[in-house]
């Protein structure tokens, strides 16, 4: 049996949020695996696609809960497919990084990100991989961060596969073991 890695793109569901900065995680999945065909699985509160990368099975997951409840979907997926937190990769928006900057992090706190907070709370562990997708901070510090994250990100600032691939390739080898 092939080892399985769950790749979760954090997001808010619905057309209204599709291209918002907060959906950078789901946009990252779409950039890396543009031909993935997702199926809604109501019992998991997620859309799921499967693909292979070498000898590894990848479960691509887009939670259909809102961001603050992402842990419900992630916890259900990990349980159903018997995936350990160490084999979880969460792609998420990161205001501390400039647009287009991508960084890998393993473990640590949620740094105020409610999607990560929810996942950590539900699975009972912070020991999972994160691919942090930079969306910058609002130019005007008086602008609320929530409004900024829920605003549409200009197409020129959205994440692209060429920015993601080096970070993804760096970690996939270690995860596949």
Kindly report, residue by residue over 21-52, the tens digit of the pLDDT: 999 999 999 999 999 999 999 999 999 999 99
Of the candidates 144, 148, 147, 119, the one whose C-alpha atom is nearest the C-alpha of residue 135 is: 148
Tally of CB atoms within 10 A around 80: 14
Q: What is the C-alpha to C-alpha distance for residues 3 and 134, in angstroms, rounded to an integer? A: 29
Q: How many domains does the chain have?
A: 1
Cα-based angle 49, 15, 28 (whole degrees, multiple of 5)? 45
* pTM attached to this predicted model: 0.95
* DSSP annotation of 159: -
Tell me what the pLDDT averaged over the chain comes to: 94
* DSSP annotation of 154: P
22 in active site: yes
**Which of the following is catalytic: 22, 92, 113, 129?**
22
109 half-sphere exposure, CB direction, 13 A CA radius: 2
In the three-class reduction of DSSP (H, G, I as helix; E, B as strand; rest coil), residue 128 is classed as: coil
- pLDDT attached to residue 29: 96
Query: For strand 4-9 and strand 88-94, is the pairing parallel, antiparallel, or unpaired?
Result: parallel
- pLDDT attached to residue 144: 85
At 47-68, the pLDDT tens digits run 999 999 888 999 999 999 999 9
Q: Which CATH number covers residue 43?
A: 3.40.50.1470
At 69-87, the pLDDT tens digits run 999 999 999 999 999 999 9
- pLDDT attached to residue 166: 92
* DSSP annotation of 153: P
- Domain boundaries, position 111: 4-175
Q: What is the C-alpha to C-alpha distance for residues 150 and 165, in angstroms, rounded to an integer? A: 26
Q: Are 104 and 171 in contact (CB under 8 A)?
A: yes
* DSSP annotation of 80: H
Q: What percent of the chain has pLDDT over 90?
A: 85
- pLDDT attached to residue 134: 96
> Please, which pLDDT band fits residue 177 given cuts at 50, 70 and 90?
low
> Please, which pLDDT band fits residue 3 given cuts at 50, 70 and 90?
confident
């Amino acid at each position: 049996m092939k080892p399985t890695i769950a790749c979760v793109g954090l997001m808010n569901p619905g057309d209204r949020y599709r291209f918002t900065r907060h959906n950078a995680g789901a946009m990252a999945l779409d950039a890396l695996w543009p031909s993935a065909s997702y199926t809604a699985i109501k019992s998991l509160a997620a859309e799921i696609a499967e693909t292979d990368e070498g000898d590894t099975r990848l479960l691509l997951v887009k939670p259909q809960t809102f961001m603050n409840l992402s842990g419900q979907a992630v916890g259900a997926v990990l349980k159903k497919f018997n995936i350990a937190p160490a084999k979880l990769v969460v792609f998420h928006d990161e205001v501390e990084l400039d647009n287009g900057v991508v960084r890998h992090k393993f473990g640590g706190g949620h740094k105020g990100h409610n999607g990560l907070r929810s996942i950590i709370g539900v699975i009972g562990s912070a020991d999972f991989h994160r691919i942090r997708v930079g969306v910058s901070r609002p130019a005007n510090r008086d602008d609320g961060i929530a409004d900024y994250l829920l605003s549409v990100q200009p197409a020129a600032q959205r994440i692209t596969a060429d920015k993601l691939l080096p970070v993804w390739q760096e970690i996939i080898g270690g995860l596949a073991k």
